[in-house]
């Protein structure tokens, strides 16, 4: 998001919303559940996806769309090495994914063979919040070494979340992070938000996320 507030921007948002709806319809027609995964740079999005793939152990078929600001395939390569299809979308320096980019990604994934599509958005706590991609839920990864004041300082991204992951709990002994203060900020913005404190590094707390994810995907597949 930039400070530009002119009619052309409203048209772009409106076009984005229409494209997002088409993406969602496409996913539903293939009985696929989809997650828009957001976080600041280095909070552990790719590690989180890799650990999710590992723990699901092929019980769900996952496709990944990797959003990057540069033409580097570091993250997509890791997903493919983990045995799942992945597509890299290079935003060309832009700060967020848009529904049209997600559409390009979906067109390159084997949708008939998937239960779940995870979109790893560009690392950014601000701009991605404004763009519906056509996924079913927004998930944010906060990270313990980022500090406990982020809900207060980046409130918009917390408002549209279905799930919050608090990663790198293994670093809590070495940094200042008051979980009560953090949770109070989150509660103010998004009361009752489902939250999973966990560590991708040690695996602590990951089981609950996996259990929740499987339930959500199955529930979606039974209703769509």
* Residues of the shown chain interacting with its own copies in the complex, contacts defined by CB under 8 A: 1-4, 6, 8-9, 12, 40-42, 68-70, 72, 74-75, 91, 93-96, 98, 122-127, 143, 145-147, 149-150, 152-156, 168, 170-171, 174-175, 201
Nearest approach, Cβ of 136 to its own copies (angstroms)?
A: 23
Dist CA 176 CA 158 (whole Å) = 21
Nearest approach, Cβ of 207 to its own copies (angstroms)?
A: 22
Nearest approach, Cβ of 210 to its own copies (angstroms)?
A: 23
Q: 102 and 133 in contact (C-beta within 8 Å)? A: yes
Instruction: Name the residue nearer to its own copies (CB basis): 58 or 153.
Output: 153
Instruction: Name the residue nearer to its own copies (CB basis): 27 or 101.
Output: 101
Instruction: Name the residue nearer to its own copies (CB basis): 132 or 146.
Output: 146
Nearest approach, Cβ of 169 to its own copies (angstroms)?
A: 12
Instruction: Name the residue nearer to its own copies (CB basis): 74 or 219.
Output: 74
């Amino acid at each position: 998001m930039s400070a530009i507030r002119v009619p052309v921007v409203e048209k772009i948002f409106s076009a984005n919303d229409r494209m997002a709806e088409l993406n969602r319809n496409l996913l539903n027609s293939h009985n696929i559940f989809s997650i828009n995964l957001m976080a600041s740079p280095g909070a552990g999005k790719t590690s989180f996806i890799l650990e999710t793939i590992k723990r699901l152990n092929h019980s769900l078929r996952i496709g990944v769309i990797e959003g990057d600001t540069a033409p580097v395939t570091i993250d997509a390569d890791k997903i493919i090495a983990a045995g799942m299809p992945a597509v890299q979308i290079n935003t060309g320096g832009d700060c967020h994914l848009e529904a049209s980019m997600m559409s390009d990604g979906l067109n390159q994934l084997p949708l008939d063979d998937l239960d779940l599509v995870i979109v790893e958005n560009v690392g950014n706590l601000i701009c991605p919040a404004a763009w519906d991609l056509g996924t079913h839920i927004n998930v944010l990864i906060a990270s313990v070494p980022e500090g406990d004041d982020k809900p207060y300082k980046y409130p918009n991204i917390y408002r549209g979340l279905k799930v919050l992951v608090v990663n790198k709990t293994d670093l809590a002994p070495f940094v200042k992070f008051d979980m009560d203060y953090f949770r109070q900020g989150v509660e103010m913005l998004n009361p009752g938000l489902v939250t999973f404190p966990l560590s991708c590094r040690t695996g602590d707390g990951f089981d609950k996320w996996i259990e929740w994810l499987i339930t959500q995907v199955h529930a979606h597949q039974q209703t769509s």
